[in-house]
Amino acid sequence: MTPVILLAEAKRSAEVTDWGARIGWLVGLVLFIALVYWLMREGWKWRGTLQSDLPALPAAPDETGPAKLSMSGRYHGSTTAGQWLDRIVAHGLGTRSRAELTLTDAGLEVERPGATDFFVPTAALRGARLDKGIAGKVLTEGGLLVVTWALGDKLIDSGFRSDHAAEHSEWVGTLNQMTNDTEGAR
């Protein structure tokens, strides 16, 4: 007797997709992403609560005088001075946005469409430098204008990036000159 070789036992294909398991994993992934987003939002609100001891941002005076410098670009955020990862979110300082900066004898006016505008009086300015990063944004060396200023008794670094990065050096020189003149007058 010759052996019979059975090549296929049944005339049906193997099941390719288990739709129940796939939908279950998809629902689980969506719930996990929603949980992570909610936790990030709660963390942001908690950070704002922890920083609620910061005084209110100063308002710009009615008359600030003629502009020494002006710049349009992006505001990337504020941190505790010298600690580039310690973001400050209180009073809207943590919100990234477009920004129009105007430097006058009265101080630095920051107008932010869609976010809280703020004003830094000349007496509160402590200096400026070029840097490569601030919380949430890292650029090439010298790609970020960082202005150090005082809000109450806390020193703050605020990071800006001009639409024309060549302007940064002029801003650093002018702000540091104003700071030195103010310190000399004290």
- pLDDT, position 90: 87
The three-point CA angle 113-140-107 to 5° equals 40
Residues of the chain with pLDDT under 70: 1-15, 182-186
How many Å apart are CA 128 and CA 94, to the nearest integer? 19
- pLDDT, position 184: 58
Identify whether the C-beta of residue 89 lies closer than 8 Å to the C-beta of residue 135: no
Identify whether the C-beta of residue 156 lies closer than 8 Å to the C-beta of residue 80: yes
- pLDDT, position 33: 97
Identify whether the C-beta of residue 134 lies closer than 8 Å to the C-beta of residue 96: no
- From the DSSP assignment, how many helices (H) and strands (E) are in the chain? 2, 10
What is the reported pTM? Answer: 0.75
Please tell us whether the domain made up of 69-185 is placed in CATH 2.30.29.30: yes
Sign of the alpha-carbon torsion through 113, 107, 59, 158: positive
- pLDDT, position 99: 92
Identify the three-state secondary structure at position 123.
helix
